[in-house]
C-alpha cells in the first residue's frame, strides 16, 4: 500500500492526528494508497513554516526564485513518465492523455510564470509636480485548492504564479487524486525549494479545506472546483476579508453553423464532448446545430461516438478511460436516469460500460448522446461532468444566443462557422469568460481565463494571476 504524506517545512510527514483516507484506482476499483486526512493542527504547522519562509522568499532577488522554480520545472520534465503513470492510475484518464496534456503542462506552467515574472513591470504615473509608482507586492501566505480532473496541471497552474511573485503557499490538492502532488513535493525537495515556501496538505474539504478557508494566517484563497463548493468558500472567507478567486463549473454550449469546416468541427466536437471522459470544465455538453446540418451531424456524430473505445487507461487505443471515483460514477448514472425520465432520447450510450480483465470492477461510462430535451430541464441546466452531451437544432443566431445563455453557468463556449462576422457577433453575445471560434481548448497562457455568472469570479492566466497574488500599493512623490 502506497502512503501519501504531507509536505510541511521542507519535510514529508504523517498527519498529526493520525487519520487517513483510502485512495482507489478508478480503472480497477482497488484501494492502492492511504492519504492523510489533515486538520487544523497540520495547517498550523504549515502556516507557521510558510510565514517564516516568506521573510526570505519574498525578498530574494527575482533571479534566485526563477532559478529554483526552473530547476523544479526541469525535474518535472525528467520525471514525466513517473508522473504520467501516477496521474493515470489515480484519475482513470488514459495514459496517453496524461502524457500529451497533463504532465507537460506542469513544467510549462512553472517556466511560463518564471519568465513572466522576470519581465513584469509595474505602472508609473507622472504628474506635473511629482509622480506615482504602483508597487505590486507579494501578500504572504496564500492557499490554493484544486480539483481532481486535471490534478497536477491545475495544482501547478495556481502554485507557479503565487511562488513566482514571492508568496509562500499552502497547496491543497483534491483528496480524490493526491498522488502527483505528493510526487511533486518530493521533486520540490530535490530542487532545493527552501523549507516552508510550498507546503502541501492532503485531506478532504470538510477537514482541511474548511480549516484553510477559516485560518487567520492565510490571506488569499485561490479555488478551482464545483460551484456548490465555491459558494461555501465565498461565504467562509467573507468575514475575514480574504482575497479570493473562484474557477467553477460549466454547462458549455457548442454552436455549430451549417457553413463550418465540417471535418475539423466533427473531430474537435468529439474531443470537446468526451476528452478526459467529459471531465473537463471546458467540455461542451450542450451541442446546438443549425437546422440544415442537423440530421447529417447527428447521424455522423452518434456513429463516431459509439465507436470510441472505452477501456483500460494503460492501452494506447483507449479513447475514454474510467471516471474518477465510484461516487462520481453513480452520480453520472443517476443523471442518465434523470435524462431518460425527462423524455430524452438516448442515441448512443446511456449507461455504464464494462471493460474486461483487470478493469472489470472499474468505473466506466459509455459515451452518451441525448436528443430531444428542452433547455429548461435538469439535464440541460446542471453540470454532469461526464461523457454525456445533448444535441438540439436551431434556426437563427438570436435563438441560439438565448439557448447558449440559458443556464446559470458562463464558463466557455465554442462557435463553428466559416463566416467570421457570424462568429464574432455571436461571441459578443455569449455570456461566458472564454469563447473559441473554430477550435476548442486552445490555450495561450497569457490570456485571461475564468467564468461569468455561476462559473466563477476573477480571472487566472498571465498578468491576471500576478495581480491576484499581489497587493497593489501606490506610492506618490510630490516634488
Ligand atoms: P469540488 O468542489 O468537490 O472539490 C474541489 C476542491 O475543493 C477539492 O480539493 C476539495 O477537497 C475541496 N473542497 C471541497 N469542499 C471544500 C470546502 N468546504 N472548503 C474548502 N475546500 C473544499 O470539485 P471536484 O469535484 O474536485 O472538481 C470538479 C468540479 O471542478 C467541476 O464542477 C468542474 O467544472 C470544476 N472545475 C472548474 C475548472 C475551472 O477552471 N473553472 C477547472 C477544473 C474543474
Q: 407-441: per-residue pLDDT in tens?
A: 999 999 999 999 999 999 999 999 999 999 999 99
Same domain? For 302 and 399 the reply is: yes
Q: Indicate if 348 belongs to the active site.
A: no
Ligand 1 pocket test: pick from 21, 43, 147, 211 the residue with the most ligand atoms within 8 Å of its Cβ: 147
Same domain? For 364 and 312 the reply is: yes
210 lines ligand 1 (CB under 6 A): yes
pLDDT (0 to 100) of residue 269: 98
Same domain? For 178 and 292 the reply is: no
Same domain? For 141 and 287 the reply is: no
Does some domain include residue 230?
A: yes
- Bridge partners for 169 per DSSP: 142, 198
Same domain? For 288 and 408 the reply is: yes
Same domain? For 227 and 345 the reply is: no
**Helical H runs in 12-137?**
40-57, 62-78, 80-91, 95-97, 104-119
166 lines ligand 1 (CB under 6 A): no
Same domain? For 391 and 467 the reply is: no
CATH number where 52 lies = 3.40.605.10
Question: Distance between CA 7 and CA 146 in Å, rounded?
Answer: 16
Q: Whose CA is nearest to atom 9 of ligand 1?
A: 174
Ligand 1 closest atom vs CA 150 = 43
47 lines ligand 1 (CB under 6 A): no
Does some domain include residue 143?
A: yes
Same domain? For 367 and 460 the reply is: no
Same domain? For 63 and 117 the reply is: yes
- Bridge partners for 286 per DSSP: 253, 390
Ligand 1 pocket test: pick from 144, 180, 201, 226 the residue with the most ligand atoms within 8 Å of its Cβ: 226
Does some domain include residue 470?
A: yes
Question: Distance between CA 237 and CA 244 in Å, rounded?
Answer: 8
Does some domain include residue 209?
A: yes
Question: Distance between CA 281 and CA 270 in Å, rounded?
Answer: 15
Q: Is 409 left (phi over 0), alpha (psi -120 to 50) or beta?
A: beta
Residues 73-109: pLDDT tens digits?
A: 999 999 999 999 999 999 999 999 999 999 999 999 9
Does some domain include residue 243?
A: yes
The pTM for the full model equals 0.98
Same domain? For 242 and 280 the reply is: no
Task: Give me the number of domains the chain comprises.
Answer: 2
The CA 281 to ligand 1 mean position distance, Å, reads 10
Ligand 1 closest atom vs CA 247 = 41
CATH number where 324 lies = 3.40.309.10
pLDDT (0 to 100) of residue 7: 99
pLDDT (0 to 100) of residue 326: 98
Q: Indicate if 260 belongs to the active site.
A: no
Same domain? For 148 and 273 the reply is: no
90 lines ligand 1 (CB under 6 A): no
* Domain membership of residue 297 as a residue range: 252-444
- Among 321, 109, 88, 96, smallest CA distance to 183 is for 88
229 lines ligand 1 (CB under 6 A): yes
Separation in Å, CA 412 to CA 149, 166, 249, 381, 405:
17, 31, 10, 15, 11
Does some domain include residue 111?
A: yes
Same domain? For 93 and 48 the reply is: yes
Question: Distance between CA 16 and CA 12 in Å, rounded?
Answer: 12
Does some domain include residue 450?
A: no
Per-residue pLDDT of the chain (479 residues; tens, 9 = 90+): 899 999 999 999 999 999 999 999 999 999 999 999 999 999 999 999 999 999 999 999 999 999 999 999 999 999 999 999 999 999 999 999 999 999 999 999 999 999 999 999 999 999 999 999 999 999 999 999 999 999 999 999 999 999 999 999 999 999 999 999 999 999 999 999 999 999 999 999 999 999 999 999 999 999 999 999 999 999 999 999 999 999 999 999 999 999 999 999 999 999 999 999 999 999 999 999 999 999 999 999 999 999 999 999 999 999 999 999 999 999 999 999 999 999 999 999 999 999 999 999 999 999 999 999 999 999 999 999 999 999 999 999 999 999 999 999 999 999 999 999 999 999 999 999 999 999 999 999 999 999 999 999 999 999 999 999 999 999 999 99
The CA 158 to ligand 1 mean position distance, Å, reads 14
Does some domain include residue 449?
A: no
- CB-hemisphere CA count at 13 Å for 168? 29
305 lines ligand 1 (CB under 6 A): no
Amino acid at each position: 500500500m502506497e502512503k501519501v504524506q504531507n509536505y510541511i517545512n521542507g519535510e514529508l510527514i504523517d498527519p498529526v492526528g493520525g487519520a487517513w483516507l483510502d485512495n482507489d484506482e478508478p480503472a480497477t476499483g482497488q484501494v492502492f494508497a492511504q492519504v492523510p486526512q489533515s486538520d487544523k493542527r497540520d495547517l498550523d504547522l504549515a502556516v507557521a513554516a510558510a510565514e517564516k519562509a516568506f521573510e526570505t522568499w519574498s525578498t530574494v532577488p527575482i533571479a534566485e526564485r526563477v532559478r529554483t522554480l526552473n530547476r523544479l520545472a526541469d525535474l518535472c520534465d525528467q520525471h514525466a513518465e513517473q508522473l504520467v503513470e501516477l496521474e493515470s492510475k489515480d484519475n482513470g484518464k488514459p495514459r496517453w492523455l496524461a502524457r500529451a496534456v497533463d504532465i507537460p503542462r506542469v513544467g510549462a506552467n512553472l517556466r511560463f510564470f518564471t519568465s513572466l515574472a522576470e519581465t513584469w513591470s509595474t505602472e508609473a504615473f507622472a504628474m506635473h509636480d511629482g509622480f506615482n509608482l504602483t508597487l505590486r507586492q507579494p501578500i504572504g501566505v496564500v492557499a490554493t485548492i484544486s480539483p481532481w480532473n486535471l490534478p497536477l496541471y491545475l495544482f501547478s497552474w495556481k502554485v507557479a504564479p503565487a511562488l513566482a511573485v514571492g508568496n509562500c503557499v499552502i497547496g491543497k490538492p483534491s483528496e480524490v487524486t493526491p498522488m502527483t502532488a505528493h510526487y511533486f513535493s518530493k521533486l520540490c525537495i530535490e530542487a532545493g525549494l527552501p523549507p516552508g515556501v510550498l507546503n502541501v496538505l492532503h485531506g478532504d474539504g470538510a477537514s482541511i479545506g474548511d480549516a484553510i478557508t477559516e485560518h487567520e494566517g492565510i490571506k488569499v484563497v485561490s479555488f478551482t472546483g464545483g460551484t456548490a463548493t465555491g459558494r461555501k468558500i465565498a461565504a467562509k472567507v467573507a468575514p475575514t476579508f480574504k482575497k479570493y478567486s473562484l474557477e467553477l463549473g460549466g454547462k458549455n454550449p457548442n454552436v455549430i453553423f451549417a457553413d463550418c469546416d465540417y471535418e475539423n468541427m466533427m473531430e474537435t466536437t468529439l474531443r470537446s464532448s468526451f476528452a478526459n471522459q467529459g471531465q473537463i470544465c471546458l467540455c461542451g455538453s450542450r451541442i446546438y446545430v443549425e437546422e440544415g446540418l442537423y440530421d447529417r451531424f447527428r447521424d455522423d456524430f452518434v456513429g463516431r461516438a459509439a465507436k470510441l473505445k472505452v477501456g483500460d487507461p494503460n492501452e494506447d487505443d483507449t479513447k475514454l478511460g474510467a471516471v474518477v471515483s465510484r461516487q462520481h460514477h453513480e452520480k453520472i448514472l443517476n443523471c442518465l436516469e434523470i435524462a431518460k425520465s425527462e423524455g430524452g432520447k438516448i442515441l448512443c450510450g446511456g449507461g455504464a460500460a464494462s471493460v474486461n480483465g483487470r478493469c472489470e470492477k472499474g468505473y466506466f461510462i459509455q459515451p452518451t448522446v441525448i436528443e430531444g430535451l428542452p433547455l429548461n430541464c435538469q439535464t440541460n441546466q446542471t453540470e454532469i461532468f461526464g461523457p454525456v452531451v445533448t444535441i438540439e437544432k436551431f434556426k437563427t443566431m438570436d435563438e441560439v444566443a438565448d439557448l447558449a445563455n440559458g443556464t446559470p453557468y458562463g464558463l466557455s463556449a465554442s462557435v463553428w462557422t466559416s463566416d467570421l462576422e457570424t462568429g464574432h457577433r455571436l461571441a459578443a453575445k455569449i455570456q461566458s469568460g472564454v469563447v473559441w471560434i473554430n477550435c476548442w481548448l486552445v490555450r495561450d497562457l497569457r490570456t485571461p481565463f475564468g467564468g461569468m455568472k455561476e462559473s466563477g469570479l476573477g480571472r487566472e492566466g498571465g498578468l491576471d494571476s500576478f495581480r491576484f497574488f499581489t497587493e497593489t500599493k501606490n506610492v506618490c512623490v510630490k516634488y
